[in-house]
């Protein structure tokens, strides 16, 4: 892939991140921080300790996934392709961090959508599904970076 194509793909990713990723990341990040504060207080109540601890871990996991996503996005946009190829393990950890919060969001957003049919257009944003587009772009960029490194070394 040429440098011109890489710049074009990074520009496309920047548009994806601003239009699709940033609103969801800000909303989910704020929700995770509020959830951490709230569920920390709930965790100390004896009757609801298990629910509070589980919810606290879900919020912490979501916050870690958001931080990882933003770090990977920054690395893709501003670092050379040779250094970006070293972020493969971070990408895998980010997917692991995001699994539980995204499952929770999917359940909650489908409940909201089933009660209010007017919220269907917001369902992809509420469930975090629109993040699949920039995440897939990052995955493809990591694969391309790995291929570029293999060509360079071999």
Which among 16, 17, 3, 146 is positioned nearest to 82, based on CA atoms? 146
pTM: 0.84
Note the Cα 21 to chain centre separation in Å: 8
CA distance 123 to 151: 42
Query: Mean pLDDT over residues 90-119, rounded?
Result: 85
Number of domains in the chain: 1
Q: What is the per-residue pLDDT across 15-50, written as a single tens digit (0 to 9) for each?
A: 999 999 998 888 888 888 888 888 777 666 666 677
Helices (H), the chain: 3-16, 22-43, 49-78, 81-84, 88-115, 123-127, 132-153
Which structural domain, as residue segments, surrounds residue 148? 3-153
Q: In which band, very low, low, confident or very high, does the pLDDT at 102 lie, cut at 50, 70 and 90?
A: confident
**What pLDDT does 101 receive?**
87
Report which of residues 119 and 95 the model is more confident about: 95
Q: How far apart are the first and last CA of the chain?
A: 16
């Amino acid at each position: 892939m040429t440098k011109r194509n890489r710049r074009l793909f990074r520009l496309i990713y920047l548009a994806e991140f601003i239009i699709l990723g940033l609103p969801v990341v800000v909303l989910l990040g704020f929700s995770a921080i509020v959830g951490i504060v709230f569920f920390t207080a709930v965790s100390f109540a004896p009757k609801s300790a298990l629910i509070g601890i589980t919810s606290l871990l879900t919020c912490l996991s979501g916050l870690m996934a958001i931080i990882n996503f933003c770090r990977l996005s920054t690395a893709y946009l501003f670092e050379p392709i040779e250094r970006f190829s070293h972020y493969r393990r971070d990408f895998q950890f980010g997917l692991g961090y995001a699994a539980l919060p995204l499952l929770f969001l999917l359940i909650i957003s489908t409940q909201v959508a089933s009660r209010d049919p007017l919220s269907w257009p917001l369902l992809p944003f509420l469930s975090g599904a629109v993040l699949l587009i920039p995440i897939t772009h990052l995955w493809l960029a990591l694969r391309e970076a790995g291929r570029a490194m293999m060509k360079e070394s071999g």
